[in-house]
Amino acid sequence: LSFGLLYPAYNSYKAIKTKNVKEYVKWMMYWIVFSLFTAVEMLTDIFLSWFPFYYEIKILFVIWLLSPWTKGASILYTKVVHPQLSKHENEIDSYITQASDKGYNSLLQFGSKGIDCLVNGFTVGASKVVANFLFLFLFLWRHFTYKLF
């Protein structure tokens, strides 16, 4: 946690605060590579977590990304990530636009369905409460009136 998130976050803050463009770009490259690593890690953890020293290798990889001597994040970004993102940028933008449009429509659709379910559930639930109350009232009324007469 402290190697992969807190240290870079603090250095990103310092780069923004000092308005040092070189440091800002360096930490932006790190965050892009780290986010891709995290996305891949979610899938690989399922299949490779049994592998000996898997977690130690991940820690060493994050240290390699962070190290000012190895400049791992900068290397991965310039050699792999940037060329691939540039190559597929139009497709990615198109997918994001489609997902955004569908997401908004789905949100509206599920939101209205959720409200309908809530209203129907409330009315059904309220009617059940009233019915149970009436049943209890009639049961108690009959029970006490039977005892009195």
Q: If you ran DSSP here, which 8-state letter would residue 51 be given? A: S
CA trace torsion 23, 25, 31, 32 (10° rounding): -160
Which residues, 6+ apart, have CB-to-CB distance to 29 below 8 Å? 73, 74, 77, 78
**CA 121/CA 116 separation, integer angstroms:** 8
pLDDT tens, N- to C-terminus, the chain (149 residues): 567 888 899 989 999 999 989 998 999 999 999 999 998 888 888 888 888 898 899 899 999 999 989 999 999 999 999 998 899 889 888 877 876 777 666 656 655 655 555 555 555 555 555 555 555 556 555 655 555 44
What Rg, from alpha-carbon coordinates, does the chain have? Answer: 29
pTM over 0.85: no
